[in-house]
């Protein structure tokens, strides 16, 4: 892809447990919808087991190459824990938006966890995040954990949707909200 102008926004997408390069996810649909509907946007996709430093290096390089680029991150399921860990790694870099789709807590970065059942665990959102939007479902046993903000600087929005965990990242409501926020 050749950019006609320097990107002003960067959107990092991090997929969930069963989603791999060979198995597409709703995160890819979100990324590509944003790519077609948001001007001057650069996107990058990772899976939940990707080393945090690898993703952080890409973000740092993009921000150094294109000064003033706004960073946003979307993470689904296990990818949400990776997204929160990425924000910590990038500190004190400001994060415009953190989108967490049915976030599942993992105490160890590269391993699955029994904590994915019934929403156990808590993810802590750093104060460098301007806006965090969390979507959850309560239909299936695998479900989103608690998300708390670490500072009043972060605006936290939470919604519950009527989707199973394995389908919530395909929600058009989520996709629409993310596109809308990225267009601002």
Instruction: State pLDDT tens for residues 4-15.
Output: 678 999 999 999
pLDDT confidence band for 114 (50 / 70 / 90) = confident
| Between 118 and 158, the higher pLDDT residue | 158
By the 8 A CB rule, do 77 and 101 touch? yes
Strands (E), 19-149: 41-46, 70-76, 95-101, 122-125, 129-136, 146-149
Is the dihedral angle over the CA atoms 56, 143, 17, 46 positive or is it negative? negative
Match 């001007």 to its residue by tokens.
39
Looking at residue 161, what is its pLDDT? 95
Inform me whether the pLDDT recorded for 16 exceeds 60.
yes
Query: Where exactly are the structural domains of the chain?
Result: 9-183
Q: What is the 3-state secondary structure (H, E, C) of 102-136?
A: CCCCCCCCCCCCHHHECCCCEEEECCCEEEEEEEE
- The CATH class for the domain spanning 9-183 reads alpha beta
Phi-psi region of 51 (alpha: psi -120 to 50; beta: other; left: phi over 0): beta
Looking at residue 108, what is its pLDDT? 76
pLDDT digits (tens, 9 = 90+) for 133-177: 999 998 988 888 999 999 999 999 999 999 999 899 999 999 999
Inform me whether the pLDDT recorded for 111 exceeds 70.
no
CA–CA distance, 65 with 52 (Å, rounded to integer) = 20
CA–CA distance, 46 with 102 (Å, rounded to integer) = 17
């Amino acid at each position: 892809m050749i950019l006609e102008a320097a990107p002003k926004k960067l959107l990092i997408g991090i997929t969930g447990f069963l989603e791999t390069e060979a198995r597409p996810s709703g995160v890819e649909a979100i990324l590509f919808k944003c790519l077609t509907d948001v001007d001057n946007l650069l996107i990058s996709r990772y899976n939940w087991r990707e080393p945090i430093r690898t993703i952080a290096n890409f973000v740092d390089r993009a921000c150094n190459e294109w000064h003033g680029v706004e960073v946003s991150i979307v993470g689904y399921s296990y990818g949400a824990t990776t997204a929160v860990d990425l924000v910590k790694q990038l500190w004190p870099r400001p994060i415009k938006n953190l989108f967490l789709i049915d976030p599942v807590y993992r105490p160890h970065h590269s391993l699955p966890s029994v904590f994915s059942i019934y929403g156990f665990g808590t993810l802590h959102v750093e104060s460098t995040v301007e806006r965090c939007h969390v979507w959850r479902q309560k239909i299936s046993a695998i479900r989103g954990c608690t998300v708390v903000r670490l500072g009043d600087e972060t605006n936290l929005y939470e919604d519950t949707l009527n989707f199973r965990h394995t389908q919530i990242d395909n929600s058009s409501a989520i996709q629409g909200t993310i596109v809308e926020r990225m267009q601002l």
